[in-house]
Amino acid sequence: MSKKPATLSRQAAALKREFDRGFAEPRKPPTAQTLNLLAVRLGGDSWAIPLTDTAGLHAGKKITPVPGRAHALLGIAGFRGTLVPVYDLSTLIDLPAPAAPRWLVLAAERRIALAFAELDGHLRVETGDILPLGPGDDGAWTRGLVRADGTTRPILNLSALLGGISRRRDPAKEGNDR
């Protein structure tokens, strides 16, 4: 007689016991969902950028100016063989622009890089700790507030911000400067 059927029988019995035990034990509370954020400073203010909205973070990339008058456009930068327009993030949300932005974050939604000067670090917060915007708050660029490390930060809504870049383009004001 072969040992294989006996081994399979023991494995099946162990699987059945494990399955049954899963129903006999009390339900575990759901684990808290978290959101990973980049903590940044824009115009001297604390902000947060959801990492799910980004495709990369780069420091010290060379930005080559380009002709044109597009709102907040700093120029272009190369990322893995692709040229991407670089916009000043502070200017896009109507804050004072830094003299020389050091950091570039690539947007996941579109091939656009957003430049800023100061990175405070990484934050991991529970989604339940995100405060919604109050009535009357202009949420054009924000999707809520988060309090972490003793600082309350608006969370940038990159999708709305990127949509704003498209709407701000004015063909009469852009084009080649000759």
Instruction: Give CA torsion, residues 58, 55, 114, 44, to 10 deg.
Output: -70
d(CA 145, CA 170): 32
Q: Which residues pair with 83 in a beta bridge?
A: 78
pTM (two decimals)? 0.73
What does the pLDDT look like over 101-147, one tens digit per residue? 999 999 998 999 999 999 999 999 988 888 887 665 555 778 899 98
d(CA 14, CA 73): 63
Residue given tokens 């701000």 in the structure block: 168
Cβ-contact 39, 48 below 8 angstroms: yes
d(CA 46, CA 151): 8
What pLDDT is attached to residue 106?
95
What pLDDT is attached to residue 36?
93
Using pLDDT thresholds of 50, 70 and 90, give the confidence band for residue 85: very high
What value, to the nearest 5°, has the Cα angle with vertex 157 and ends 150 and 163?
A: 155
- The answer for residues whose C-beta is within 8 angstroms of residue 32's C-beta and 6 or more apart is 126, 127, 128
Q: Is the pLDDT of residue 73 over 50?
A: yes
CATH topology of domain 34-168: OB fold (Dihydrolipoamide Acetyltransferase, E2P) (2.40.50)
d(CA 156, CA 160): 9
